[in-house]
Amino acid sequence: MNETLRNTGLFAVITALIIYTGFAQSWNAALLIISMGLISSIMALGVNIQWGFAGLFNVGIMGFVALGGLAAVLIGMPPTEGAWSAGGWGIVSALLLGAGTIIVTVQVMRRMAKGWLRTAVVLALLVGGFFLFRAILDPSVAAVESINPAGTGYLGGLGLPVIIAWPVGGLFAAGAAWIIGKTALGLRSDYLAIATLGIAEIIIAILKNEDWLSRGVKNVIGIPRPVPYEIDLQNDPGFVARATDFGLTSVEASTLWVKFLYIVLFAAVLLILLWLSQRALNSPWGRMLRAIRDNEVAAEAMGKDVTARHLQVFILGSAICGIAGAMMTTLDSQLTPGSYQPLRFTFLIWVMVIVGGSGNNFGAVLGGFLMWYLWVMVEPMGMWLMNVITYGMADGYWLKDHLIESAAHMLLMTMGAVLLLVLRFSPRGLIPEK
């Protein structure tokens, strides 16, 4: 069997699985799997660029995805009335002051000669800057958060079309990646892993606690959509007439149509990114990256700037994860910082890349769809398994209750086991690198 046929076969299998879900469960469920599969594939593509092309280990995908989600809020939501005049400008100036302090400190570090004087100046700058920062920030934050805390209590966004948030989400993620890459790249490979683990935790902590920015755990809901609302479609006589032509009720037709429009949008983004990644992979730049990945010392001896290339590819990959994060928040039309978990947003994406075939863009896309399908299906399967195991036990028996309760944790073990098994027995994945 030749390679193209085999790969087409693999994609056909996942298509068949989704069509089966459509018939067995509902087409709404099937379309939802496709749209989340598309988003997952984009995330996997981003990680594949980092790991497959360059061998960089990023454990902070969750953080970059969450930053994309924040972009959707900051771009899409309407500005909160009175928030900017109450404290918005205060917050912005405090943040600028904070950034300025850091820049000045870095300049002082560079310019002044080493010695106790430099240490003293740097410390004075940092401590003074910090207190000034807090002095301006705190009252402004309090002012913003006191505006109708039950409904808004945050700055709101710019009220622009939410699609703009997608590239902006990429930019946010790229910014965070730059900070991490600048410090941790060029050192041991483990340090990047630990630093990304840290930045992810901190981004989530910021989203959870900075109410003026993201409403924290109160969540931002009702982010405007790039596609029409179901209710508007149901009130549109033209749409209802077309739906009845197909033999569908207006409710069914509207939910399916909205999901279909999302899929078209997401598929367009995926295709563009896939095309770009393929071009990058086969360009001299891509070959250089793989040369660096396979033998860093040799590549460096050939005059390649390993750290700079790593930084580039790390930023690019993270930006793609940010784009996917913004798309996901757009699809959910809400930002719920409490729902970002490392298992779902870091580990699952890794499993997608490894299973699909690291180093191969199509592999990442396949892995994205396949693992997302599994992810959705493992929990019901675990539940079913537990029901079978406990079939003979009496209702209310402690072991039965315990086993059924813990079915939810099957996901953790299944994903861990899938990763270990694939790494061990088929480390090149389903669609191996050429």
- How near is the Cβ of 125 to other proteins at its closest, in Å? 15
Q: Which of 66, 195, 430, 431 binds other proteins (CB under 8 A)?
A: 195
Q: Which of 40, 56, 59 is nearest to 314 (CA)?
A: 56
Residue 116 CB neighbours (<10 A): 7
CA distances 202 to 73, 74, 419, Å, are 19, 19, 26
Residue 370 or 378: the one with the smaller Cβ distance to other proteins is 378
Q: Which of 202, 264, 308, 377 binds other proteins (CB under 8 A)?
A: 202
For residue 343, give every residue at least 6 positions away whose Cβ sits within 8 Å of its Cβ, in sequence order, or none.
411, 412, 415
Residue 330 or 346: the one with the smaller Cβ distance to other proteins is 346
**209 binding other proteins? (CB under 8 A):** yes
CA distance 56 to 313: 9
Restricting to residues 324-343, name those near other proteins by CB under 8 A. Answer: 342-343
Beta carbons of 7 and 239 less than 8 angstroms apart? no
Q: Which of 319, 285, 422 is nearest to 58 (CA)?
A: 319
Q: Which stretch binds other proteins (CB under 8 A): 30-38, 53-61, 223-231, 277-285?
A: 53-61
**189 binding other proteins? (CB under 8 A):** yes
Residue 26 or 414: the one with the smaller Cβ distance to other proteins is 414
Binding pattern for the stretch 133-162 against other proteins, x by CB under 8 A and - elsewhere? -----x------------------------
**198 binding other proteins? (CB under 8 A):** yes
- How near is the Cβ of 119 to other proteins at its closest, in Å? 12
CA distance 402 to 260: 40
Residue 108 or 160: the one with the smaller Cβ distance to other proteins is 108
For residue 279, give every residue at least 6 positions away whose Cβ sits within 8 Å of its Cβ, in sequence order, or none.
none
Residue 35 or 214: the one with the smaller Cβ distance to other proteins is 214
Query: What residue type is 190 in one-letter code?
Result: D
**409 binding other proteins? (CB under 8 A):** yes
For residue 420, give every residue at least 6 positions away whose Cβ sits within 8 Å of its Cβ, in sequence order, or none.
none
Restricting to residues 344-403, name those near other proteins by CB under 8 A. Answer: 347, 350, 354
Q: Which of 16, 194, 231, 272 binds other proteins (CB under 8 A)?
A: 194
CA distance 191 to 314: 14
**Residue matched to tokens 């009845």:** 244
Size of the site for other proteins (CB under 8 A): 43
- How near is the Cβ of 25 to other proteins at its closest, in Å? 26
**415 binding other proteins? (CB under 8 A):** yes
CA distances 278 to 14, 62, 271, 287, 307, Å, are 22, 25, 10, 12, 23
Interface with other proteins by CB under 8 A: which residues? 55, 57, 59, 130, 138, 183-184, 187-191, 193-195, 197-199, 201-202, 205, 208-209, 342-343, 347, 350, 354, 405-406, 409-417, 419-420, 423-424
